[in-house]
């Protein structure tokens, strides 16, 4: 354990601007979606999703974001994904790492040893408006349990009133249904369903781990 502590450097989780998607594509993600990913982000065999922390004024209904994030990561198919309970989170990582902008070595090692994870995924919900118009703002990070390196981060503000978000939902819905354009009523239904909208948000965030258009 002592050698593990020596390997881990003090970890500061920076919430600064991430890289915008470049390259050629027939569809570009919303400008409000930012991220930075590394080749190492796809290497952890087992990742542990920490239940999302909720920002000031965000109600408990936003806790469903954790289930959506876990489902999106599993569907990506790059890692074995497990989820901690809120009780485990509060015991193993008692402070909100994203709010304090730092994650202690002790917390990271406790989680690694408790659930045998190669990396953890931490998230914070900054906005969750569950009524029309639905809006979700959140940030997510993947941290290596081996050396404390940040492997991936993504952040976005998804407001159902914005045309670019509606266009992106239509695109996301068409991919999920395996046909171009999708069903108009179907994708519009996402704008009135907090559960569907949340899954759209987490799918879009997780896409940035390996941002390849189909």
Residue 144: which of 38, 6, 66 has the closest Cα? Answer: 38
The DSSP string of 26-39 is SS---TT-EEEE-G
For 95-125, letters b (16+ CB in 10 Å) and e give: eebbeeeebbbebbbbbbeebebbbbbbbbb
Structural domain contains residue 103: yes
Give a yes or no: residue 120 inside a domain: yes
Percent of the chain exceeding pLDDT 70 equals 83
Mean per-residue pLDDT, 189-197: 94
**Position 95 in a domain:** yes
The answer to whether residue 212 scores a pLDDT higher than 80 is no
Q: How many residues does the chain have?
A: 214
125 pLDDT band (50/70/90 cuts)? very high
**Does 212 map to a domain?**
no
Residue 3 covered by a domain: no
Number of domains in the chain: 1
What's the CATH code of the domain at 43? 3.40.50.10610
pLDDT at 211 exceeding the cut of 90: no
Q: How confident is the model at residue 10 (pLDDT cuts 50, 70, 90)?
A: very low
Q: In degrees, to the nearest 5, what angle opens at C-alpha 54 toward C-alphas 139 and 76?
A: 45
Among the listed residues 24, 49, 23, 22, the one whose alpha carbon sits nearest the alpha carbon of residue 35: 22
Taking the C-alpha atoms of residue 7 and residue 139, their distance in angstroms, rounded to an integer, is: 27
Is residue 188 situated within a structural domain? yes
User: Band of the pLDDT at 143, cuts 50, 70, 90?
Assistant: very high
Torsion sign, CA atoms 165, 99, 81, 7: positive
**Tokens read off for 67:** 């289930």
Position 7 confidence tier, pLDDT thresholds 50, 70, 90:
very low
Q: What is the DSSP string of 149-171?
A: -EEEEEEEEEETTSHHHHHHHHH
Q: Tell me the per-residue pLDDT of 51-110, one tens digit each, with 9 for 90 and over.
A: 999 999 999 999 999 999 999 999 999 999 999 999 999 999 988 988 888 888 899 999
The whole-number pLDDT of residue 131 equals 87
The reply to whether 14 falls in a domain is no
Q: What is the pTM of this model?
A: 0.84
Reported confidence tier of residue 24, pLDDT bands at 50, 70, 90: very low
pLDDT tier, 142 (very low <50, low <70, confident <90, very high otherwise): very high
| 1, part of any domain | no
Structural domain that includes position 112 = 31-207
**Residue 82 in contact with residue 46, Cβ under 8 Å?**
yes
Q: Which of these ranges, 39-53, 55-69, 131-145, 174-188, has the smallest mean pLDDT?
A: 174-188
* CB 84, CB 111: distance < 8 Å: yes
């Amino acid at each position: 354990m002592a050698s593990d502590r020596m390997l881990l450097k003090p970890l500061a989780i920076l919430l600064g601007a991430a890289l915008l998607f470049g390259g050629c594509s027939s569809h570009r993600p919303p400008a409000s979606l930012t991220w930075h990913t590394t080749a190492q982000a796809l290497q952890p065999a087992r990742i542990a999703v920490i239940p999302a922390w909720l920002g000031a004024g965000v109600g408990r209904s936003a806790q469903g974001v954790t289930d959506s994030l876990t489902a999106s990561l599993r569907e990506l198919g790059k890692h074995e994904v497990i989820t901690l309970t809120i009780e485990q989170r509060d015991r193993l990582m008692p402070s909100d790492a994203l709010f304090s902008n730092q994650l202690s070595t002790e917390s990271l090692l406790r989680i690694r040893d408790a659930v045998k994870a190669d990396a953890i995924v931490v998230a914070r919900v900054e906005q969750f408006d569950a009524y029309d118009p639905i809006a979700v703002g959140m940030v997510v990070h993947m941290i290596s349990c081996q050396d404390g390196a940040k492997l991936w981060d993504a952040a976005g503000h998804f407001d159902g009133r914005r045309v670019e978000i509606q266009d992106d939902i239509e695109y996301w819905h068409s991919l999920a249904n395996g046909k171009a354009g999708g069903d108009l009523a179907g994708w519009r239904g996402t704008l009135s369903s907090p559960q569907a909208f949340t899954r759209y948000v987490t799918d879009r965030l997780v896409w940035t781990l390996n941002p390849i258009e189909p």
